[in-house]
Amino acid sequence: MSTRKLAVSALAVAALLAGMPAYGQASSDKVIRLQVPFGPGGGTDILSRIIAPRLAERLGQPVVVENRPGAGGAIGARFTAQSPPDGLTVMTGSISEIAINPSVNPKVGYDVWRDFAAVTPLASTPMILVAHPSVAAKNVKELIALAQSRPGQINYGSAGGGSGAHMAAELFRYLTKVDLAHIPYKGVGPALTDLVGGQVQLVFTTLPSAVSFVKGGQLKAIAMASTVRAAALPEVPTFVESGLAAYVIDYWYGMFVPAATPKDIQARLDAASREVLRMPEVIASFEKSGLVPMGGTPQEFTAYVKKDMERWAAVVKSSGIKLE
């Protein structure tokens, strides 16, 4: 073959290869849509907006946060599960739609291990019970006594039926034998807005979504669902300290993608996420919000999630908690 023909052939091959997507290397002009299955203002949203711009820097392509609330996180989870497995649809998943909702709602519309791959453990945070300042209870003991004296008259807002916030309240009801009225919202952000406004009286939520309201005096913190007090609000006691030793809820977040997403794309997302979690400014933002970075491989994260799913399935079965 002549030199001229070889040159033409090489150019043709190069042109063909240029038009093909590189495995594991998304095009820099393709936007990654980071799905948040809840509305603005909740812990999932806060975490996602902390890491999104840093992920964009590490991946060399835009990362846009998309809030897709409803059904305790199930709507956003279903959207992610049904999206093309090309690495451009990623979800900040949590205990709500991954570990809890499937046990509560048999019609959730997805199967966690058929439809998702767990990529990276991101962070964890304790849950906190906050009240409107008008609620005549300063601690857990006083709240239980108040609720017992007014069965069904104390209400609480949640991020939706089947969400972590809903199950946290139902577990509290089960352990204390009190009757609280449930008012579901499309995310904890709207629930907290109504709590500040006095439309609801209690909200069980994650620390990141409530910390600014507590520090600003708009809400009253009753207790933290952790074994030790949180550095972000060290003055708030735990439920364990308050006499409810069984009331500990470690609310976790992680990165998930559609199950068929190629392994090399998953590895690229995992590597970038780990770099972001080590950044000093991210660590500082997490500490301020009450988030704690998590560690572990995708395999370890998968095992952790499976164990937590089994735990919540057992809680739901023994307590008789049902979706309203």
H-run or E-run covering 8: helix 3-18
Provide the greatest CA pair distance for the chain: 96
Local structure of 78: helix, strand or coil: helix
> Domains (ranges, CATH) in the chain?
30-124+251-319 (3.40.190.150), 126-224 (3.40.190.10)
Supply the pLDDT for residue 118.
Answer: 97
Distance CA 231, CA 233 (A): 5
The identity of residue 70, as a single letter, is: G
Supply the pLDDT for residue 29.
Answer: 66
Distance CA 312, CA 125 (A): 17
DSSP letter for each residue of 234-245: TTSPBTTTTT-T
Q: Are 253 and 123 in contact (CB under 8 A)?
A: yes
DSSP letter for each residue of 26-65: --TTSPEEEEESS-TTSHHHHHHHHHHHHHHHHHTS-EEE
Choose among 141, 143, 206: nearest CA to 179. Answer: 143
The dihedral through the CA atoms of 247, 166, 315, 45 has a sign that is negative
What is the value of pTM for the model shown? 0.85
Choose among 138, 139, 125: nearest CA to 231. Answer: 125
- Return the C-alpha torsion angle 203, 212, 250, 282, nearest 10: 150
**Eight-state DSSP code of residue 96:** I
pLDDT tens for the chain, 324 residues long, are 343 333 333 333 333 333 333 334 445 569 999 999 999 999 999 999 999 999 999 999 999 999 999 988 999 999 999 999 999 999 999 999 999 999 888 889 999 999 999 999 999 999 999 999 999 999 999 999 999 999 999 999 998 888 889 989 989 999 999 999 999 998 899 999 999 999 999 999 999 999 999 999 999 999 999 999 999 999 999 999 999 998 999 899 999 999 999 999 999 999 999 999 999 999 999 999 999 999 899 999 999 999 999 988 988 888 777 765
Q: How far apart are the first and last CA of the chain?
A: 75
